[in-house]
Amino acid sequence: MSAREGWITFAATLAAFLMLSAIFFLLLGKPPLEMGLSLVEFAFGDAYSLSETLAKASPILFCALAVAVPGRLGLISVGAEGQLYIGAITGTALVLGFPELPPLAMIPLMLAAAALGGAAWGLVPGLLRARLDINETIVTLILNYCAVLFASALVFGPWRDPANQGWPATAPFPPAAVPPAVDGKVHLGLLIGVLLALALHVFFTRGRAAVHIRILAGNRKVGRTFGLDFAFWVTALMATGGAIAGIGGIIEVAAIQGRLQPSISLGYGLTGFLVSWLARHRPLVILPIALLVGGLLAGSDALQLFAKVPAASATILEGLLFATALAVPGLIARWRRSDGN
């Protein structure tokens, strides 16, 4: 696709999405233009809104990168949600096990533990795909449900802090485990996410590995004739994606919630999937899209409060955005074909 076609697709997708959103607000009985403008204002209007948006963008960014990494090989992983939960669990395990660690050791070790947990959770579908050729999409989806249940089992069970008087949550994290933040919700995790995106961009565009992955993604048989190991890259990239989502999970717990609770993610896994798909698994494109979608979530949170828009609006709008992004390129191609004949 040429750059010009890319922009046409982008503009048409945006226009179609705005139209669908307007219809959606009309169905709710709300003035669409006013709702749209307030949404943007609540997302990016002032310092407070922007910090809420950035707080939402952080887990989305990690989840999107977690989808993008295997996505570069043509794999469709929908497992970021589960990997995020497992990372949150293993990271929390370290914090609860060694609460006395000094800050300089605590945060790196906590992130490492979360990365290992997430990687292990990504490794399962990776190995099943690499060794037995079992479809990774279905396995990652089913594993998500298990991961969420594991977190509940721990938080309602052995990890519940008795001081909470029945409220299911672990003890609060010690200050050493809370990532430093400027202005409340803009925390170290966001910086880590951006650096990861930059590193992944370099990894996937320069060097020999980038070429190997691109060949294998294009045609596995050609890759094999070059002696490239598909199974190795499936395993490695699925585990790496899992590690990234796992880091995102523990950061969400440590920086935003301060303790492990049964519900860590507000559908960030699926949102991240959408973001990575819209960005075509390109890390540098994921950055702005994660910010915009973070704004959509934060803005509709505020709209829910001030304009009585239903809480589910963000999910519906995300779904509409996804459907539009899927429909528009195909419709343009179809229109061109019929035009050419």
Partner 1 sequence: METDLWILLAGWLVATLRSATPLLFVTLGETLTQRTGVINLGVEGEMLAGACFGFAVAVTTGSPWLGLAAGALAGGTLSLLHAGLVLGARANQIGSGIAVWMIALGTTSYVGRGFVGQKVTPLPQLVGPGAGDGLLGVLFRQLTAPAPLAFLAVVLAAWWLANTRAGLAWRVAGESARVAAENGLRPTWIRLQAIVLGGLLSGLGGAVLSVDYTQTWAQEITKGRGLIAVGLVIVARWRPILVLPVCLMFGLAEVAVLRVQAAGVEASSYLIATAPYAAVLIVLVVGHRSARRSRTMPADLRSIFS
- Contacts with partner 1 by CB under 8 A lie at 76, 78, 128, 132-135, 137-139, 141-146, 149-150, 152-153, 156-157, 220, 267, 270, 273-274, 277, 310-320, 322-323, 326-331, 333-334
Q: Which is nearer to partner 1, 20 or 191 (CB)?
A: 20
Distance between CA atoms of residues 189 and 254, nearest Å: 10
Distance between CA atoms of residues 98 and 179, nearest Å: 16
Residue 170, SS3?
Answer: coil
Q: Which residues on neighbouring strands pair with residue 170, listed in sequence order?
A: none
Which conformational region is residue 165 in: left (phi greater than 0), alpha (psi within -120 to 50 degrees), or beta? Answer: left
Q: Which is nearer to partner 1, 173 or 322 (CB)?
A: 322
Nearest to 199 by CA among 286, 107, 77, 78: 286
Q: Which is nearer to partner 1, 24 or 44 (CB)?
A: 24
Q: Which is nearer to partner 1, 66 or 78 (CB)?
A: 78
Q: Which is nearer to partner 1, 7 or 145 (CB)?
A: 145
Q: Which is nearer to partner 1, 72 or 185 (CB)?
A: 72
Q: Which is nearer to partner 1, 252 or 318 (CB)?
A: 318
Tally of helices (H runs) and strands (E runs) in the chain = 13, 2
Q: How far is the CB of 140 from partner 1 (least distance, A)?
A: 10
Nearest to 92 by CA among 177, 165, 157: 177
Q: What amino acid is encoded at 169 in this protein?
A: A
Q: How far is the CB of 112 from partner 1 (least distance, A)?
A: 26
Distance between CA atoms of residues 324 and 57, nearest Å: 21
* Residue ranges with strand state E in 131-244: 181-182, 186-187
Nearest to 298 by CA among 55, 53, 59, 61: 53
Q: How far is the CB of 293 from partner 1 (least distance, A)?
A: 12
Q: How far is the CB of 149 from partner 1 (least distance, A)?
A: 5
Q: How far is the CB of 322 from partner 1 (least distance, A)?
A: 4
Q: How far is the CB of 103 from partner 1 (least distance, A)?
A: 33
For 159, phi then psi, to 5°, come to: -95, -5
- Contact of 77 with 238, CB cutoff 8 Å: yes
Q: How far is the CB of 132 from partner 1 (least distance, A)?
A: 6
- Contact of 238 with 221, CB cutoff 8 Å: no
